[in-house]
Amino acid sequence: MISDKNLARIAGLCYLIVIATGMFSEVFVRQALRVSHDAIITAQNIKTNEMLFRWGFVADLINFVIGLPAILIIYHIFKHVNKLMLQLALAFVIIQTAIIAVNLLNQISPLLILSNETYLNTFQPNQLAALSLLSLNIQIQGYAIGLVFFGFYCLIIGYVIYKSNIIPKILGILYAFSGLCYLINSFTMFLSKGFGNPLFLYLAIPIFIGELSLCLWLLIKGIDTSKMIKN
């Protein structure tokens, strides 16, 4: 039987893969290929870098599949601290995963729209490019909706970590702050004209620090359940 300490390290490894695949698909694919307000250039970028675009889609799928074991292990480890809060967190992250997974259809749609299928000949190239960019814009909003639920997940998990006493409380604070930043990021986008988000770069740093800190602690140090404080 695998000990909780080794389970924690497995969760840390899975979480590291989630962070790496998420950064790859967001930074090196979506942000690199999508040119805001320029559908033609975006379409050209996708066509020129079609395999990179496909790898970004696959990376997101891997992200969700690998993320599930990490989530369940975290639930298993901390459920004795506050089971009700952990169940609530689990519900939030399941909803988040479902939303973003379905939203991947918008991410892959440009490959279908920009294909050379004969039934698309009724559209002009600029119209196809516009539809392609629209799909990517919808994907961004769908992703932001999913991150609202993930933000609440991080807040709850951060609180439970803080109360557990089995890993440093600062990690719980940082993780909860990541959740708060996710919420601010999404709602700033929803409430801004044109869905702009001037705070993204300022929020991305604490989000990255909070998630990576917990990930590395679990991966390197594991946990010591003998110090656990139960409610």
From first to last of its 231 residues, the chain has per-residue pLDDT tens of: 678 888 999 999 999 999 999 999 999 999 999 998 899 999 999 999 999 999 999 999 999 899 999 999 999 999 989 999 999 999 999 999 999 999 999 999 999 999 878 888 889 999 999 999 999 999 999 999 999 999 999 999 999 999 988 899 999 999 999 999 999 999 999 999 888 888 888 999 999 999 999 999 999 988 876 655 555
Angle at 222 between CA 219 and CA 223, to 5 degrees: 150
Nearest to 197 by CA among 211, 181, 209, 210: 181
Specify the DSSP class assigned to residue 24: I
Q: Which residue has the tokens 């609530």?
A: 88
The confidence score (pLDDT) of residue 28 equals: 95
pTM for this model (two decimals): 0.91
Give the model's pLDDT for residue 24: 96
Predicted local distance difference test score (pLDDT) of residue 230: 55
Nearest to 110 by CA among 61, 57, 63, 59: 57
Cβ-proximal residues to 162 (8 Å cutoff; 6+ apart), any chain: 169, 172, 173, 176
